[in-house]
Chains A and B, each alone.
Chain A
């Protein structure tokens, strides 16, 4: 069994709560990398959303379905292509982008099958990450980037600035974005991209096609 792509469960509830805040009631939602299904359950229970999940880890899928949640085993790199265009209002990829094989293609698929994409990822531009690489000359290990380089499933780390560049290249409109520290606190620097890139531990984006 491959390692689940969700790289850290810490503060997951909060991460998902921030995502849930972005999604309106009764929306049709696809959660890619749905883990134990907390987000889709939350969206169904509190917002009457038609929320469905895809999860790579079979144990998590079994757990979710056994809790009555519509989840199918599949993976972001290979199981998005068959969904019809515009089948969902929102497609969510939470803390998974950095672990997929082809992030750019996954984003394309998300915005093909959904009108909006909600993406969260850990920010590799955080000052602590930069400091560690600068001073120790070794791959950074922080509470967010907690595994050694040879063990991590996070094969495509990026910074907040990198992500803005990608969105510009692909012609995506950033509808909303925010950066939070690991405790999930929004900070005064959150509206300045450069400062967010330095102090934000996680980023959350809502995109649509231009």
Chain B
């Protein structure tokens, strides 16, 4: 990756709310200053009762339904969020923040550590948790004057934030939609994250995390991390359908033998995924956020009793999983649904049939769209939003 693209990652100004009093993190470290970058769509009603917070996944950001300023690509949930779409911005005021630890304008490893704008946090950025991300979002919601969110919605790591929102601020969430997620990160989840992190550490350009000092980046390592992760987002069926065993001729990379002169299409696809990722993501953010996911275990702080995390909740829940998702399999969503039943909560739970793997929640899945739209419509009725 070129230095110029790294600069552009940090050169862009993102809409954000600044909190001069910072944020006390779960680890005990106080961030002296907090920025929460965010985007909104639609209009907040007079009672401020129609706000939906969307929580993004590991490497997404606040550009949920508009052209991304760096990549020029449509919003990551363009199919779901918009006028007349399942999350209808003609009815709802949609807020999407960049998570704490991210690299799209919210405070993270790429943010200045103190007064000197050239001295960044880098790997000294304190370990953050999903709870910290949620608490940063809560600061923004408070600042916007919203007492109760109509809904909090998110997939994957976004779903963990949704669960944490519902557990931490039950009186501030009318409806919660955790999608393709889990109540804790499994050993397998942690294992895949660790492979990605080791790839970054192994890149000489990582320089112990101080690559930003000379405007460099561990592009090779970050790309490999993305390639590994990307495999986990797809199903075997989806990979087979897209690529099978098809090959195409390609010039062997310099210094490599004829062994690699032919390339499987799946290889070029993954390499493309890897190389396009490094232009829009910061390696230290990747380390910070993957670690936050690994720490996630909602039951742990409630004596390993997941239902205790939701005791007495009046939030309406809709859990959605996908049949071919092996990264966050249906069993995790079902465990949450059962825990919510034990807490006498109002729960809907649907497993959508899809062969697209974990990524299904980002793709065109009509049953998923109908479920989401219908659940929100039902909740709007109960919340008295259908006047």
Contact = CB atoms under 8 A, between A and B. Distances in A.
B348 interface: yes
Nearest to B319: A72
Contact of A67 (B346, B367, B374): B374
Interface stretch (B39-47, B115-123, B133-141, B375-383): B375-383
A83 B351 contact: no
A205 B353 CA distance: 37
A87 B345 CA distance: 10
B261 to A, nearest CB: 47
A41 to B, nearest CB: 10
A134 interface: no
Contacts of A79: 338, 341
A66 B349 contact: no
Interface string A47-59: 0001010000010
B344 A68 contact: no
Contacts of B338: 79, 82
Contact of A72 (B339, B347, B367): B347
Contact of A58 (B319, B350, B377, B378): B350
A70 B376 CA distance: 11
Given A82-B338, A82-B341, A83-B341, A70 B374 contact: no
Contacts of A83: 341-342, 344
A65 B371 CA distance: 6
Nearest to A41: B378
Contact of A70 (B307, B339, B378): B378
B352 interface: yes
A73 B349 contact: yes
B318 interface: yes
Interface residues of A, number: 21
B363 interface: no
A66 B371 contact: yes
A79 B367 CA distance: 24
A84 interface: yes
B316 interface: yes
A47 to B, nearest CB: 15
A87 B374 CA distance: 26
Interface in A28-66: 50, 52, 58, 61-62, 64-66
A70 B342 contact: no
A68 B374 contact: yes
Nearest to B349: A72
Given A72-B347, A72-B348, A74-B349, A62 B367 contact: yes
Main SS of chain B's interface residues? helix
A61 B320 CA distance: 11
Contacts of B373: 66
A69 interface: yes
A62 B371 contact: yes
Contact of A65 (B337, B353, B374, B381): B374
B370 interface: yes
B342 A82 contact: yes
Contacts of B349: 61, 72-74
B346 A52 contact: yes
A71 interface: yes
B151 to A, nearest CB: 13
B225 to A, nearest CB: 35
B341 A71 contact: no
A62 B353 CA distance: 10
B302 to A, nearest CB: 16
B86 to A, nearest CB: 10
Contacts of B339: 82
Nearest to A71: B348
Given A58-B351, A73-B350, A66 B344 contact: no
A68 B375 CA distance: 5
A79 B337 CA distance: 10
B308 to A, nearest CB: 12
Contacts of B342: 82-84
A65 B316 CA distance: 12
Given A72-B337, A83-B342, A67 B378 contact: yes
A67 to B, nearest CB: 5
A60 B175 CA distance: 22
A65 B370 CA distance: 8
Given A62-B371, A65-B371, A83-B342, A70 B353 contact: no
A206 B349 CA distance: 28
B350 A65 contact: yes
A84 B344 contact: yes
Nearest to B375: A65
A65 B341 contact: no
Nearest to B376: A68
Contact of A62 (B337, B370, B377): B370
Nearest to A73: B349
Nearest to B323: A58
A130 B211 CA distance: 84
12 contacts: A52-B346, A61-B350, A62-B370, A65-B318, A65-B374, A66-B374, A68-B379, A69-B378, A70-B348, A72-B349, A74-B349, A83-B344
Interface of A: 50, 52, 58, 61-62, 64-74, 79, 82-84, 87
Given A61-B348, A68-B375, A72-B341, 5 more contacts: A58-B350, A65-B371, A71-B348, A72-B348, A82-B342
